[in-house]
Amino acid sequence: MTRLDNAPQTTAPQPVHKRGWRRRLAAALALLVAALLFGAYGWQPAEDGRAFRSPYLAQVGSRYADTPIARFHYVQAGSGTPVILLSPGGTSVIGWKDQLTVLARDHTVYVVDLPGQGYTQLKDADFAFDLDAMVSAVGAFMDHLGVRQAALAGNSWSGGWALAFAQRHPDRVTKLALLDATGLDLPGTLMWESLKVPVIGELAVKLSTGKSTVRGLAKGMMVNKGRVSEQLLDEWWAPMTFYDNIRATYLLERRLDWAQTERALPITKTPALVLWGKQDTIQPVERAHRFAELLPNEQLVVLDGCGHAPQLDCPEPVNHHLQTFFADSR
């Protein structure tokens, strides 16, 4: 019998069960991708916080400043040289509840929610949520109130925004208090870095608006966890459920360029107080020392037993240091 070497070779058909397994896997992956995309760009969690009526705001009184950028929500107390406290990134004016009346003994104190924070309502549909935009928002708020110069303070993101404003408008800032502030060109924690990833960031922020999740975030930031009362938790949680604030959170994480602020630190002449919680798990205390190395006109205070939000975690020493620092703000 003659063997034909060039005869076409045939491949044995794959078992039906293997082809079926691959089809099921492909279908499951397609469903997963569709669910992730819907969750990131289609689904919106309920704005449950809209129904909340803030006891704190009922006590201190909300005010609003209407500008082309936003209808800024703020609270005000006292008289004297102006001090502006920028609401900590991701929360509202409640973030300075223990400082408002203390500082108001000697100053006109304004606590303001910038766009994407608290109860401020954004008007500018093209607002970029980058450093330029946040700096312009600070200026718009001050201009509306007729405040030419003020001392500024911020915590976390808002410390970075205060720093950027002082760097770009040094004639408008008399003193600068940076509490566990951003502003260095260094990576954040894994949780915050993940917000920079499309789809993942949108989903992560949306899924973090439940009250139990907010409780975990708040307690994770603070050493003195007993200070996270149910009232504080409600105040913290409510504006985090607002759609505009959810969107702002992942956009800010992606667009804030802290290389700009770090490069300008050696020429930032504004007197600065760098006030830091030693047990900060979000902005490690080593970053306070980095600020101190680069700022030419600074005071460094590290508070033991305090976390990322020292003004809430350790209000008494924070108030003392802020009162002393702002004493001659002119």
DSSP string, 166-178: HHH-GGGEEEEEE
- pTM value > 0.75: yes
Nearest-angstrom CA–CA distance, 286 and 293? 11
Report the pLDDT value the prediction gives residue 3, as an integer from 0 to 100. 47
Give me the residues of the chain with pLDDT under 50, please: 1-4, 7
Report the pLDDT value the prediction gives residue 43, as an integer from 0 to 100. 66
* Residues 284-303: tens digit of each pLDDT: 999 999 999 999 999 999 99
Please work out, in degrees rounded to the nearest 5, the angle formed at the alpha carbon of residue 51 by the alpha carbons of 50 and 55. Answer: 100
* Residues 171-225: tens digit of each pLDDT: 999 999 999 999 999 998 888 788 788 888 788 888 888 899 999 999 999 999 9
* Residues 122-133: tens digit of each pLDDT: 999 999 999 999
Torsion of CA 132, 134, 136, 140, to 10 degrees: 180
The candidate with the shortest Cα–Cα distance to 273, out of 207, 217, 214, 318, is 318
Could you say which DSSP state residue 279 is in?
T
Report the pLDDT value the prediction gives residue 168, as an integer from 0 to 100. 98
CA dist 255 to 94, 133, 278, Å? 25, 10, 28
Contact, 85 vs 218, CB < 8 A?
no
Report the pLDDT value the prediction gives residue 206, as an integer from 0 to 100. 87
Report the pLDDT value the prediction gives residue 254, as an integer from 0 to 100. 94
Nearest-angstrom CA–CA distance, 147 and 78? 15
Domain boundaries, the chain: 55-326
Q: Tell me how crowded residue 101 is: count the other CB atoms within 10 A of its CB.
A: 13
Report the pLDDT value the prediction gives residue 46, as an integer from 0 to 100. 84
Nearest-angstrom CA–CA distance, 267 and 152? 18
Name which CATH class applies to 55-326. alpha beta
Nearest-angstrom CA–CA distance, 309 and 223? 9
Report the pLDDT value the prediction gives residue 54, as an integer from 0 to 100. 97
Report the pLDDT value the prediction gives residue 8, as an integer from 0 to 100. 53
